[in-house]
Structure 1
Amino acid sequence: MRAILFILVLIVAACSDRTAAPILPEAQLVGKNRDVFIGTTRSMNAAGEFGIGRSASLNLLQATVSLPPGRTLGSVSDGQERPKPDRDFTIAALNIYESNDVFRRALAADLASHPPSERDVTLFVHGFNNSFTNSAFRIAQMAEDLELPGTHVTYSWPSRGNPLGYEYDQDSALFARDGLADLMHLIRSVGQPDIVLVAHSMGSALVMETLRQLDIAEPGWVGRNVSGVILLSPDINVDVFRSQFSRIQTAPDPFVVMVSRKDAILRLSSRLRGERTQLGNIQNTDAVADLPITVVDVTAFSDRKSGNHFVAAGSPALIQLLRRSSELDSEFLRGRAGSVLTIPGARRIQSPPRRPSTSAIRSEAR
């Protein structure tokens, strides 16, 4: 109980209600600019910002995110209502599209600006306790630090952006399934680009629910339209994950789950449920060894400041290794059949002999 209280205090101290979304055009002259597309089911509040309310319709936007100079690799600094462009991530421009067709044309133009081999879309789905701006900041950070190719899109579902809003966020994640499905259909309508889904924490539960409903509505849709899935620290019960996965006729390849056995946030989530672990902090692969997925254990790259809850995109050491991996761009992110992420210095854990379909990698810091 003392550990749980400590984690709660840590979370509350580190995070606050982050609904403000100021736009600072001058930031474009300060930092490195990244354009990201946004689909959101947040409603616009009285201040003209996309806050915590739930919108029945999907809003489509494009943001220019300014990344501050001299920042630490893997870091995201949110200045909330008073960002400083020389220190914080900042929204430098925000364009709201009037219709699906206008968004589709803009997305098509962005895809066409890349070499033919890089005309794919990385679609990021954030987790619990995130604001509208933070989801844009995180996909911009990952695109920059991991050198992700192609076009970058984030789905900003109506999280309360408050550490005490866990139940609200759970309801919002269920509410947001149709919006994510609509966004995926819209992306695929733009010249049929490859979609790589990247989700974090509670966003992984949203992604799995959406993939499940897409394949129930049209069996085989996921396998035909999603090139890869990467779940970062997924806040999902293992039994629920297996049930969701069972309704997907053909799983995307690769289907990667990144876990940390030291994930303090998922440890708390598990205890609140009366469970030992969630999918994102499983202690071994036995419970999922028969599934066609790759489990990557990043426990060795501990990050106490984040409670080890965003190691894959927040650990400078791991980011450097991923950036040096020659297979990351050519196979891992593009989802070529049979690919396995190889991290320099990593040691592979063999799956049980009776279940040879799963690979698991335990990363060892050198």
Structure 2
Amino acid sequence: MRWMIIALAFALASCNDRTAAPVVPDALNFGLNKTVFIGTTRQLNDAGEYGIDRATSLQFLQATVSIPPQREIGSVSDGFDKPKPERDFVIAELAKFADSRSFASGLRTKIDASKSRDVTVFVHGFNNSFSDAAFRMAQLAHDLEIPGTHVSYAWPSRGNPLGYEYDRDSALFARDGLADLLRTVRSAGQPNIVLVAHSMGGALVMETLRQLDIAEPGWAARNIGAIILISPDINVDVFRSQMARLQSVPERFVVIVSRKDAVLRVSSRLRGVESQLGNIANANEVSDLPITVVDVTEFSDRRSANHFVAGGSPALIQLLRRSSDLDRGFLRGRSGSTVVVSGQRRIVSRGGATRPIPRSAADR
């Protein structure tokens, strides 16, 4: 029965064109409009959309994403090739920049108009479409109230649950594009870059930073203000080797994990190992590394795969929004920060120290 359900899920997924990214101008009249700058190494297809093929050069775009007015916090509803703006996330506008210089100029204008010089660069994971990348950045920016300017890197994932090997190759292919995007963002007035990656996107980020640091030792620490890896689909030994090639690590380096991550459980079994970095069972395995590990297992939901708890759990998002310590200190990698919530929550900080937050401390 379990395999029948899995087969049915794949069949249903194939009924929709997940690679479709229609632009719906009427969506500007619905919900909240969010500006997302985009760098992509996806090739334009015959429909004039950024599909699954790999482009030889990085393209620069600016999108206006319409966030529907009635939705549960943490959720992203995608209408695929037939979106309904009153219900779904929709690309309402999409403009292409002529080159990296004009992109940097547009980005600089947005940064100067903002109260914050933070630029959050989001790198999506496995099984994502072009629109998924823009939607998730818009959702995170809105739900988590992320200040500053927002950029998404849309690398050529197949957007299919059966496309894991294609995506793994694409993540390797996409390293140069991400390196070019990070350099371009940095050139836009020297902003504070907060680099956020999910799942396989974490592996892409680490490979790219390794590549940049080999070419220019110390590049990552000089140019990246903070790194946040959410459910990273990275082997622990590989992660160690990547970290070892960085001359120095950005002071604020956070890894968010969940031991109930079903997707990473499958990824681990495919590799014949106990776990990946994103569902590591014992954070002491990486306690010697200059990172902050945040265990969000207790925010897991039985109804989901728990592969994006940090951005999809309404309870955790509400915590992030109301806790100044977590929002400005803990998630920026300040060791020893305390999260005050109701019930038991396991927080692992630098050095591997683990401490529960007692129920009596709730709402303080």
Query: TM-score if structure 1 supplies the norm length?
Result: 0.92
The residue identity in structure 2 corresponding to 1:240 is V
Query: What is the CA deviation profile of residues 264-314 of structure 1, one whole-angstrom value per residue up to 9, with x for unaligned ones?
Result: 111011111111111111111121010011111111111344300010000
User: Which residue among 334, 351, 359 is the counterpart of 1:357?
Assistant: 351
Q: Partners in 2 of 1:51 and 1:144 — Cα distance?
A: 26
Q: Partners in 2 of 1:226 and 1:295 — Cα distance?
A: 18
Mapping 1:221-232, distance limit 5 Å: 221-232=219-230
Residues 263, 273 of structure 1: alpha-carbon distance in 2 compared, 3 angstrom cutoff: same
Residue in structure 1 matched with residue 309 of structure 2 by the alignment: 311
User: Which residue among 294, 297, 301 is the counterpart of 2:295?
Assistant: 297
Residue in structure 2 matched with residue 342 of structure 1 by the alignment: 339
Residue in structure 2 matched with residue 58 of structure 1 by the alignment: 58
Residues 336, 313 of structure 1: alpha-carbon distance in 2 compared, 3 angstrom cutoff: closer
Query: What is the CA deviation profile of residues 58-95 of structure 1, one whole-angstrom value per residue up to 9, with x for unaligned ones?
Result: 00000000011110000000100000000100000000
For the residue of structure 2 that corresponds to 1:107, the secondary structure is helix
For the residue of structure 1 that corresponds to 2:176, the secondary structure is helix
Residue in structure 2 matched with residue 167 of structure 1 by the alignment: 165
For the residue of structure 2 that corresponds to 1:58, the secondary structure is strand
CA positional deviation for 1:119: 1.1
Contact 1:223 1:251 (8 Å CA) reproduced: yes
| Stretches of 4+ aligned residues off by more than 2 angstroms | 5-17, 303-306, 327-333, 335-351, 356-366
The residue identity in structure 2 corresponding to 1:39 is G
Residue in structure 2 matched with residue 219 of structure 1 by the alignment: 217
Contact 1:331 1:339 (8 Å CA) reproduced: no
Mapping 1:27-106, distance limit 5 Å: 27-106=27-106
The residue identity in structure 1 corresponding to 2:351 is S
CA positional deviation for 1:12: 2.2
CA positional deviation for 1:337: 5.8
Residue in structure 2 matched with residue 252 of structure 1 by the alignment: 250
The residue identity in structure 1 corresponding to 2:290 is P
User: Which residue among 269, 272, 291 is the counterpart of 2:270?
Assistant: 272
Residues 18, 320 of structure 1: alpha-carbon distance in 2 compared, 3 angstrom cutoff: same
Residue in structure 1 matched with residue 112 of structure 2 by the alignment: 112
The residue identity in structure 1 corresponding to 2:24 is L
Identity %: 63
The residue identity in structure 2 corresponding to 1:302 is S
CA positional deviation for 1:358: 4.0
Residues 364, 41 of structure 1: alpha-carbon distance in 2 compared, 3 angstrom cutoff: farther
CA positional deviation for 1:101: 1.5
Contact 1:125 1:155 (8 Å CA) reproduced: yes
Q: Partners in 1 of 2:6 and 2:171 — Cα distance?
A: 21
CA positional deviation for 1:253: 2.0
Question: Where does the alignment leave 5 or more consecutive residues of structure 2 unmatched?
Answer: none
1:133 aligns with 2:131: yes
Residues 343, 106 of structure 1: alpha-carbon distance in 2 compared, 3 angstrom cutoff: farther
Contact 2:24 2:91 (8 Å CA) reproduced: yes
CA positional deviation for 1:224: 0.6
Q: Partners in 2 of 1:364 and 1:233 — Cα distance?
A: 25
For the residue of structure 1 that corresponds to 2:351, the secondary structure is coil
Q: Partners in 1 of 2:358 and 2:38 — Cα distance?
A: 35
Q: Partners in 1 of 2:345 and 2:300 — Cα distance?
A: 17
Q: Partners in 1 of 2:5 and 2:243 — Cα distance?
A: 31
The residue identity in structure 2 corresponding to 1:239 is D
Contact 1:232 1:280 (8 Å CA) reproduced: yes
Q: Partners in 1 of 2:200 and 2:337 — Cα distance?
A: 25
For the residue of structure 1 that corresponds to 2:39, the secondary structure is strand
Query: What is the CA deviation profile of residues 127-149 of structure 1, one whole-angstrom value per residue up to 9, with x for unaligned ones?
Result: 00000000000000000000000
Q: Partners in 2 of 1:74 and 1:157 — Cα distance?
A: 23
For the residue of structure 1 that corresponds to 2:91, the secondary structure is strand
Contact 1:296 1:360 (8 Å CA) reproduced: no
The residue identity in structure 1 corresponding to 2:232 is P
The residue identity in structure 1 corresponding to 2:84 is K
Deviates more, 1:273-282 or 1:10-19: 10-19
Q: Partners in 2 of 1:11 and 1:364 — Cα distance?
A: 40
Q: Partners in 2 of 1:182 and 1:343 — Cα distance?
A: 39
For the residue of structure 2 that corresponds to 1:69, the secondary structure is coil
Q: Partners in 2 of 1:214 and 1:364 — Cα distance?
A: 43
The residue identity in structure 1 corresponding to 2:238 is V
Contact 2:291 2:333 (8 Å CA) reproduced: no
CA positional deviation for 1:15: 3.8
Q: Partners in 2 of 1:337 and 1:296 — Cα distance?
A: 12
CA positional deviation for 1:331: 3.2
Number of residue equivalences: 357
User: Which residue among 141, 144, 147 is the counterpart of 1:146?
Assistant: 144
Query: What is the CA deviation profile of residues 37-74 of structure 1, one whole-angstrom value per residue up to 9, with x for unaligned ones?
Result: 00000010011100001011000000000011110000
User: Which residue among 318, 321, 335 is the counterpart of 2:319?
Assistant: 321
CA positional deviation for 1:341: 6.4
